[in-house]
Amino acid sequence: MDGKSVEIYVEKSMGELRYHNGFNTAQLSKLRGNVGRRLGPLWIPTGLTIADENYHLKTNVNIMQLGRERYCAVLQSASLFIGYRNIDVYISNKYRVGTCENESITNHENIHVRIFRETLYNHSNEIERAMRSKAPRIGPVYLRSPDAAANKIKNLLNAQIQPLFKRMSQDISRKNARIDTKANYRREQAMCSNW
């Protein structure tokens, strides 16, 4: 094996979208954690969208023993999962389905869903191209342990790919922060009267 014929598998998941209407604002605050803290300690969430961002890289290597305590590892295949298993949208049970307030909250949270999905879509092709171009250039690696050689191959590829995923995550955070502002919340709340 020359290290150039590496099989690449990339799975991209937009996540299963799930809506939850049975949570009160105290429960939403607890789920929220530190998200939204910049809006102040008195900010009470009426809705929340949580996407479980996932990045999982798996590699298979061909290990050859070259002599006593000397091994060569060559990358055979790499599999990458990026995306979401689930995207959960929580809407306070204080606002019943069908009310203006519930619709306003749902519309706001659906913008977050769109941000998560569109940003993944926009970045995933770049991540896949990087996998396909960089993986064949990884290795071979020579070390004294077969496990260490296999781990080194994975770490070398991961160092090339994971920063692209982190950039995507930062892009998601930036876009979400743009709509989670006091001014935007005031504008959305001005459309309904029973807050």
Integer distance in angstroms from the first to the last C-alpha of the chain? Answer: 66
d(CA 109, CA 101): 12
The predicted-structure confidence for 100-109, as pLDDT tens digits, reads as follows 999 999 999 9
pLDDT at 34 over 60: no
pLDDT of residue 29: 85
Average pLDDT over residues 58-81: 96
Tell me the one-letter amino acid at 32. Answer: R
Q: Where are the domains of the chain?
A: 7-189
Q: Considering the chain, what percentage of its residues have pLDDT values greater than 90?
A: 82
Task: With residue 109 as reference, give the H or E element that holds it.
Answer: helix 100-134
The predicted-structure confidence for 17-30, as pLDDT tens digits, reads as follows 999 999 998 899 88
pLDDT of residue 32: 76
Q: 122, exposed or middle or buried, with CB in 10 Å at 0-12, 13-18, 19+?
A: exposed
Q: 79, exposed or middle or buried, with CB in 10 Å at 0-12, 13-18, 19+?
A: middle
**Torsion sign (Cα): 63, 64, 70, 76:** negative
* Mean pLDDT of the chain, nearest integer: 92
pLDDT of residue 2: 47
The predicted-structure confidence for 138-185, as pLDDT tens digits, reads as follows 989 999 999 999 999 999 999 999 999 999 999 999 999 999 988 998
d(CA 8, CA 133): 10
